[in-house]
């Protein structure tokens, strides 16, 4: 018998993605949500990628050493094979390390009435989207984006800084390094460094003399436009002006 062999479930399932940089509290949040479900006497299973070698493969651990039992898996197919009949809540730790089939599995679980909580990194060390995470987030019912504190300046951090031998890692290094002499810290947009990164986007932004076009001055076409407030001559006034400004700047 398979996990979905119970034909009729009354509860409408859901998919919640808990994402953010390293040290943003994703695991704490996952454990909190799973514990709530256990208090509600729901049938819960928690899985973790066996690629996460931070601790015992059958335990998920937060950075402040809270531990929670989990089943180690290396693929979505393995996870599906281990799902219990009548499972009501499924937690997944380090979901970004699994294969993309986990997106489809999460959707099928949610469609079958299971509440799925999937925690994972939304960006890699280059601050680019991590593999299938954008798809998982787009298909989710709820997305919780958590923030850490920047190790350098103390601002809100949304990025993961990879350091190899104490120096910022290079853009062309593999996304997942196992067993390398490396460390990670949470950093804000300003303090995050990637050596040899393509510079197209940051350079264009730096060229601007005025702040990035203020979105609050560009209103949806359907909405009647409020009388324009007094603005400096180079400010954006209309959608057409905005486009011209952007092309001129490109
Ligand atoms: Zn910072």
In the predicted structure, residue 22 carries a pLDDT above the cut 80: yes
In the predicted structure, residue 216 carries a pLDDT above the cut 60: no
Return the CATH class of domain 14-148: alpha beta
The CA 192 to ligand 1 mean position distance, Å, reads 7
Catalytically active residues are: 94
Band of pLDDT at residue 125, cut at 50, 70 and 90:
very high
Alpha-carbon dihedral of residues 122, 138, 25, 109, nearest 10 degrees?
-120
Domain regions of the chain by residue span: 14-148
Neighbour tally for 64: CB within 10 Å: 8
Tokens found for residue 60:
């998920």
Between 4-13, 40-49, 58-67, 193-202, the lowest mean confidence (pLDDT) is in: 4-13
Between 5-14, 38-47, 114-123, 147-156, the lowest mean confidence (pLDDT) is in: 5-14
The CA 186 to ligand 1 mean position distance, Å, reads 9
- Residue 160 burial (10 A CB sphere; 0-12, 13-18, 19+): buried
The CA 23 to ligand 1 mean position distance, Å, reads 14
Convert the pLDDT of each residue in 63-98 to its tens digit. Answer: 777 778 899 999 999 999 999 999 999 999 999 999
The CA 127 to ligand 1 mean position distance, Å, reads 14
Convert the pLDDT of each residue in 160-205 to its tens digit. Answer: 999 988 899 999 988 877 656 789 999 999 999 999 999 755 544 4
The CA 161 to ligand 1 mean position distance, Å, reads 11
Instruction: Report pLDDT for 226.
Output: 53
Average pLDDT, the chain: 82
Average pLDDT over residues 48-72: 77
**Above pLDDT 70, what percent of the chain?**
73
Instruction: Report pLDDT for 63.
Output: 75
* pTM of the predicted protein model: 0.74
Band of pLDDT at residue 232, cut at 50, 70 and 90:
very low
More confident residue, 216 or 137: 137
Average pLDDT over residues 57-68: 76
In the predicted structure, residue 247 carries a pLDDT above the cut 90: no
Instruction: Report pLDDT for 199.
Output: 75
């Amino acid at each position: 018998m398979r996990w979905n062999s119970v034909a009729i479930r009354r509860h409408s399932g859901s998919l919640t993605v808990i994402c953010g940089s390293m040290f943003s509290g994703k695991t704490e949040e996952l454990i909190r949500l799973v514990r709530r479900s256990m208090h509600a006497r729901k049938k819960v299973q928690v899985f973790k990628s066996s690629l996460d070698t931070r601790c015992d493969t059958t335990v998920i651990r937060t950075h402040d050493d809270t531990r929670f039992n989990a089943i180690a898996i290396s693929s979505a197919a393995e996870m599906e094979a281990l799902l219990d009949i009548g499972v009501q809540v499924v937690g997944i730790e380090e979901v970004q390390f699994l294969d993309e089939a986990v997106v489809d599995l999460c959707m099928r679980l949610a469609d079958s009435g299971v509440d799925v909580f999937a925690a994972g990194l939304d960006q890699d060390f280059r601050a680019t989207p991590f593999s299938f995470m954008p798809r998982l987030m787009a298909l989710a019912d709820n997305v919780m984006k958590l923030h850490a504190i920047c190790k350098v300046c103390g601002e809100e951090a949304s990025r993961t800084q990879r350091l190899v031998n104490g120096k910022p890692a290079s853009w062309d290094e593999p996304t997942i390094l196992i067993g390398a002499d490396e460390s990670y810290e949470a950093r804000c947009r300003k303090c995050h460094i990637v050596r040899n990164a393509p510079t197209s986007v940051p350079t264009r932004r730096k060229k601007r003399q005025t702040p990035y076009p203020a979105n609050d001055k560009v209103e949806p076409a359907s909405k009647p436009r409020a009388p324009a407030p007094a603005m400096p001559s180079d400010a954006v006034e209309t959608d057409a002006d905005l486009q011209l400004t952007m092309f001129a700047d490109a």
